[in-house]
Amino acid sequence: MFNMETKKKVILTGMQPTGKLHLGSLLGATNNWQRMIGDYDCLFFLPDQHAITMPHIPAELRKNTLDCVAQYIACGLDPKRCKIFLQSQVIGHAELMWVLACITPIGQLERMTQFKDKSKKVGDSVCAGLLFYPVLMAADILLYNADLVPIGDDQKQHLEITRDIAQKFNGTFSETFILPEPYIGETGARIMALQNPTVKMSKSDSNQNSVVYLVDSDDAICKKIMGATTDSSGEISFDPENKPGIANLLDIYAASTGQSIADSVAEFSHLTSYASFKQSVADAVIAKITPIRTLYQSIAGEKEYLLSVLKDGRQDAQKRASKMISKIYRKIGFLGNL
């Protein structure tokens, strides 16, 4: 289903501005986002309201937010061809969340994997914001009637509850929301940790050798990849279940070079040890990251420029959000602005 107002399908996605972007962010997310800009109406936002569901330092959040904007741009998200904005600067996200929360069963939220996992770690001190995280995510998507949402394959549950909420609203108050579909890239959809390739690469990993950051030096990148966990067979094949370390490095190499997994396996199938393979992976990652790091370093200190990008994005997003909120308020019985 096409969004008739923009003619192009609407893509909406974002990442929390809670730290440095890493290789998984690049190959599993922004790499694909950059390719979409010409074909879709692209909205890339920074969900800073989601970022406060866990304890945080306000000054760090502000700094990380601007750093993340700079990294978005350095990864190829040209603000002249797409919109980049902050969730907290657009009136409508929290308002729509409340409307949607009023039709969402609390039992459905309590069954969400993310809530169950994180609440186990913090016990009774878990905040209500974490419970309602999926409803805010649904509001983020539905506020712009997004057709497609680029997600990792571990995030499907959140999109499923968004579709459930949208269907319930449509059935209760009449057709309003497009049911968003997931967009998952063919390669790099889920880059795993270098030291533990059974879990996703994450900036919160306690072992920083598991994570390659976009601001890492060439030497640091090489050291981390050369030290990646593999196995003792020496055989290069794509077998995520039995050879997760090699499968992860093949995924990284394929996504970094643009090759298929099959071609990547064929390229290295003659090798009998992993050292040369790892060096090739490191070289490919360095070639991918170096221009990004260089551009980031050149614009990271340009605060006025970064703020102007966010202002332009906010103005566009607010027009869309205000129109949708007005429509929703009428449907649920609010008088709206007088």
- Is residue 197 included in any domain, yes or no? no
In degrees and rounded to multiples of 5, residue 83 shows phi and psi of -115, 135
Q: Do 38 and 146 sit in the same domain of this protein?
A: yes
Q: Do 282 and 230 sit in the same domain of this protein?
A: yes
pLDDT at 267 exceeding the cut of 90: yes
pLDDT tens digits for 217-251? Answer: 999 999 999 999 999 888 899 999 999 999 999 99
Q: Is 87 left (phi over 0), alpha (psi -120 to 50) or beta?
A: alpha
- Mean pLDDT within 178-183: 92
Q: Is 303 a catalytic residue?
A: no
- Is residue 3 included in any domain, yes or no? no
- Is residue 2 included in any domain, yes or no? no
- Is residue 63 included in any domain, yes or no? yes
Query: What is the reported pTM?
Result: 0.87
Catalytic residue (choose from 200, 223, 323, 331): 200
Q: Please give the DSSP secondary-structure letter assigned to residue 50.
A: G
3-state secondary structure of 11: strand
CATH classification of the domain holding 242: 1.10.240.10
Residues recorded for the chain? 338
**Is residue 165 within 8 Å of residue 129, measured between CB atoms?**
no
Catalytic residue (choose from 118, 223, 323, 331): 118
- Is residue 184 included in any domain, yes or no? yes
Q: Where are the alpha helices (DSSP H) in the chain?
A: 23-25, 31-36, 58-74, 93-101, 106-110, 113-122, 128-131, 133-142, 156-173, 218-226, 244-257, 261-268, 275-299, 303-332
pLDDT band at 6 (very low <50, low <70, confident <90, very high): very low
Count of structural domains, the chain: 2
Q: Is 118 a catalytic residue?
A: yes
- Give residue 42's pLDDT: 95
- Give residue 187's pLDDT: 57
Structural domain that includes position 33 = 10-189+302-332
Q: Do 126 and 173 sit in the same domain of this protein?
A: yes
pLDDT at 116 exceeding the cut of 80: no
The CA distance from 157 to 116, in Å, is 13
- Give residue 204's pLDDT: 81
- Measure Cα distances from 4 to 7, 12, 97, 203, 325 in Å: 5, 16, 24, 38, 18
- Is residue 202 included in any domain, yes or no? no
pLDDT tens digits for 121-173? Answer: 666 777 888 889 999 999 999 999 999 998 766 677 889 999 999 999 999 99
pLDDT band at 188 (very low <50, low <70, confident <90, very high): low
Q: Do 120 and 179 sit in the same domain of this protein?
A: yes
**Is residue 60 within 8 Å of residue 281, measured between CB atoms?**
no
Catalytic residue (choose from 20, 203, 223, 331): 203
- Is residue 268 included in any domain, yes or no? yes
- Is residue 200 included in any domain, yes or no? no
Q: Is 63 a catalytic residue?
A: no
- Mean pLDDT within 34-38: 89
Number of C-beta neighbours around residue 295 at 10 A: 16
- Give residue 28's pLDDT: 85
